[in-house]
Each structure stands twice: as structure tokens, then as C-alpha cells.
Amino acid sequence: MISKGAPGISNSKSLIVDPTYRQQLEAFEKFGFISKAQADAFARKWSKGSNEYGNYPFDCVYRMLGRVGRTNPVSPFTKKWFYFDTEAIYNPGDYIWILENASRITNGELILGNIGDLIDIDHGVARVLFTCRGERYVWDLEAYHDWADCNLFEMLQSLAEKYNTKGRFTGYYDGQAVVIGYCTPEELDHIKKITELDIFWFKTRKI
């Protein structure tokens, strides 16, 4: 099933009444989701020209902290999650980028190596290949125009369950975009308490 939308900013509110832009960053910093240096760098880059940070507390900050460059990679603002448009599977390498970031945010718990993909939208083919803890995985995905198959994250969740990792994969949808996170139950509890965003655990899927 291709995920094309789910609850987003319309459902977000905050336990902090009308938090300022900086208070939102400080809340993430307090629980170790970003460092002070990352918060300062983010504030310098994204503080101008947007009222959304106040209109939708935590939603915009949460999403924008997860921005990661593709053609010109930049240092991520957080090591806990990443953000991408699910209507962005065009060429070989697009799933490699997703899996590289999924591996990065696990903080070494699920190191995916030798990552490859096969994408042929015209012929309805999408496949990812990688190694993890000495085992080789080849997963066939659904190819539906240029949409990412978000069942991939349910399969990654099953991989985390298989290896009994401390963290698990989370999702947060904003229209056709999604924030993919990785955290422990305690960390997710902290995030949801300070943001009240509709962040959820991915289900598991047979691998």
C-alpha cells in the first residue's frame, strides 16, 4: 500500500502554551533530540520568513529538523529522524538514500550495508538490497508511479524486532511527506508529551 496522506498539522498542538520558536527548539534540546549547536544552526537558517512555527507549534520545527540534502548533502540537524516527500521515487538511488538515512538514525543499532536498489517504474519494478548483521536481504516493493512504498518502514520495523533493538521506527505524516524517526518508547513518550503531534509506531510486516 502506498501511503499518500495521514494526520498532520491540523492535529498538532502543544503542552507549552503558545511556545515561541526558540522554546520549541529548547524543548527538543532538553531531551537530547538535538544539541545546542544544532539548535543554534537551525535557528540561524530557518528563523526568517515563516509564521508557521507559531501557527502550528512543533509541527514545522519537527519536520524541518529532519531535512537532509540529497544532491548537496548537508549535516542533519538531528540524528533522531529525517523528513522526505513520498512522491519522489524516480531513479535508481532514490531508495538507497532512504535506507542510508534509516540506517543513520538508528545510532548503530541497525547498520545497513552494501545498499542497492532497482527502480523501473515503467515496468512496475522496485527492489532494495542490503546487508545487516551478516545477513543479506532482498525486498520487493510496490512500484506505483513515483510514490515511495512506505511498507518499507514496516519491513524495517520487523528487522528491528528480529534483532531486538532498543529503538523502533516511528512515522509522522504531513500530507504526502513523512518524518521517519527511530527512538525508544521512553523517547517517544517525551516527544509526544512536549509536542502532542500524531507520531506513531510503524507496524511490522513479514520479511
Q: What pLDDT score does 96 carry?
A: 97
How big is the CA angle at 126 (ends 68 and 110), to the nearest 5 degrees? 50
Mean of pLDDT values over 69-76: 62
Q: Where are the domains of the chain?
A: 9-71+79-201
φ/ψ of 205, rounded to 5, equals -140, 145
Q: What pLDDT score does 76 carry?
A: 79
At 60, the pLDDT band (50, 70, 90 cuts) reads confident
For residues 153 and 176, give the distance between their C-alpha atoms in angstroms, rounded to a whole number.
15
What percent of the chain is modeled with pLDDT above 70?
Answer: 84
CA torsion, ordered 138, 146, 155, 141, to nearest 10 deg: -40
Report how many helices (DSSP H) and strands (DSSP E) the chain contains, helices first: 7, 7
3-state secondary structure of 141: strand
What percent of the chain is modeled with pLDDT above 90?
Answer: 55
* 164-188: pLDDT as tens digits: 999 999 999 988 999 999 999 999 9
